[in-house]
Structure 1
Amino acid sequence: MLDILKNRRSQYALGAELPLPQDEVDHLIREAIRLAPSSFNSQSSRAVILFNGESRRFWDLVKDALRAIVPAEDFPRTERRLAGFAAGAGTVLFFEDQAVVADLQRKFPLYAENFPIWSEHSTAMAQLATWTALSDAGIGASLQHYNPLVDDEAARAWELPATWRLCAQMPFGSNEGEIGQKSYIDDQQRFHTFG
């Protein structure tokens, strides 16, 4: 398992070819999210899996939203970055269902203020599980956060429930470039062991 985690890296040079058929990639993503743990087994994570033109449609929404706020002289760089995400085979949109969170808050009032935090933990685990599964299958990916900038547009475009809150986006596809090595800070700065 640790070797699989070691090999997971951000890939920004994406292509549209996948080493597996689309339905198998879809199944892989669904299973990774399904198997990811969640507090109180809430299973609050939701996903929209976009392939091909639907994925490009999402990145066009992001581009339109950014064009309104990024200075014109900086926009070509932004546009190139978004084109790299759109060049992939697909994008996973990660959501947390706020109806589930609210229901847990009602059922367990003692922990009410913690459920939004624990929901964030759940989506993080779903994202890592998905990213690791894709990487293990030879599929490149990265994790992006263009929310809440495109939340409303995405909800309208794919007619999503109002209770789904967008948390992150994961463009994925073939590895079309070198993946950099990851550096690590010294263990003494990061860990303490007692006992």
Structure 2
Amino acid sequence: METLEAKLGYHFKDRALLENALTHSSYANENRGALGSNERLEFLGDSVLGMVTADFLFKEHPDLPEGDLTRTRAALVCEESLVEVADLLDLGAYLKLGRGEEAGGGRERPSIRADAVEAVLAAVYLDGGLVEARKIIQRFILDKETEKSASRDYKTTLQELVQRESGQVLTYRLTGESGPDHAKVFSVEVDLNGQKVGEGTGHSKKEAEQMAARAAIARLDQ
């Protein structure tokens, strides 16, 4: 457990919370006298993760409309994202599984590992409060997404997406400028076959186009 705590960057005052977070229902059902399953913690962790992520996106992207915020949050807290966190923590190695689940490859099952991440977040929240839970979510999910976004060419990705069908035409249109010259903000709209599919803002036209493309990807790639 100490190794896992080191990876998390958090040491529990009540380590039983962490043990509970790693206990799958299959183990709890086979060992009635042991800790209960992590399902209740998973429920709480899902809410903590969603709230922290929503708060981050709301403050970090004041230009994004509600629909885009919702889609971005969904991408950040999806099973695939949580499995990436589980892999970074090697969480599967610490899970307590029932014999049948163990034999069936439960340690590698994406849904089990993703649920365990949510349960661990809840355990941290209960043990150390929202500030500590937020630190872990920031480090393992939000910062990683920021790094990905910084290196991602959304315009190219959008072009590749729409080219799945022939005859698709993308156009970017500057829709506004605001602010002083040293801190100007540009607004751009991207249209697909003449219909708006995304909009974004940035401190350069290029950045605004990238943000518009990002919004369009979130809308179209569903």
Say whether the fold is shared (TM-score over 0.5).
no
Larger RCO: 1 or 2 (CA < 8 Å, sep 6+): 1
- In the superposition, the TM-score normalised over structure 2's length comes to 0.29
Q: Which has the higher helix share?
A: 2
Q: Which has the larger radius of gyration?
A: 2
- In the superposition, the TM-score normalised over structure 1's length comes to 0.32
